[in-house]
Amino acid sequence: MQRSTGEEFDAPEPRRHKIKVTFELDSDLRMRARTMFKLTGEDEGDVSFGGMLATLIENECIRRERVYNGGRPFEGTDRKLRPGRPLG
């Protein structure tokens, strides 16, 4: 699922099941992402728009785990998150 970006990551074990995720995006960011998928998806091996987004999220999780958690996967929780933006 993960693409090479010149910096290799060790991907955590795949999850057992998929869940539906719903969130809001800025319309311009959504359009950029859709256009990126249409123009680069085949070359990058993306099977679907959702698959591309999952890869992007996974790569960012791995990056932050390296920076903030010694490269170990963050422990998961199903507790509710704060709604909306921004965090600060």
Dihedral sign of CA atoms 19, 7, 41, 32 in order: positive
Higher pLDDT, 70 or 80: 70
Instruction: Report the greatest alpha carbon distance in the chain.
Output: 37
pTM: 0.71
pLDDT tens digits, residue range 17-47?
888 988 889 999 999 999 999 999 999 999 9
Higher pLDDT, 82 or 52: 52
> Taking a C-beta distance cutoff of 8 angstroms, is the pair 9, 59 a contact?
yes
DSSP 8-state class, residue 7:
S
> Taking a C-beta distance cutoff of 8 angstroms, is the pair 59, 5 a contact?
yes
Q: Phi/psi of residue 44, each to 5°?
A: -85, -5
Residues 6 or more apart whose Cβ sits within 8 Å of residue 66: 9
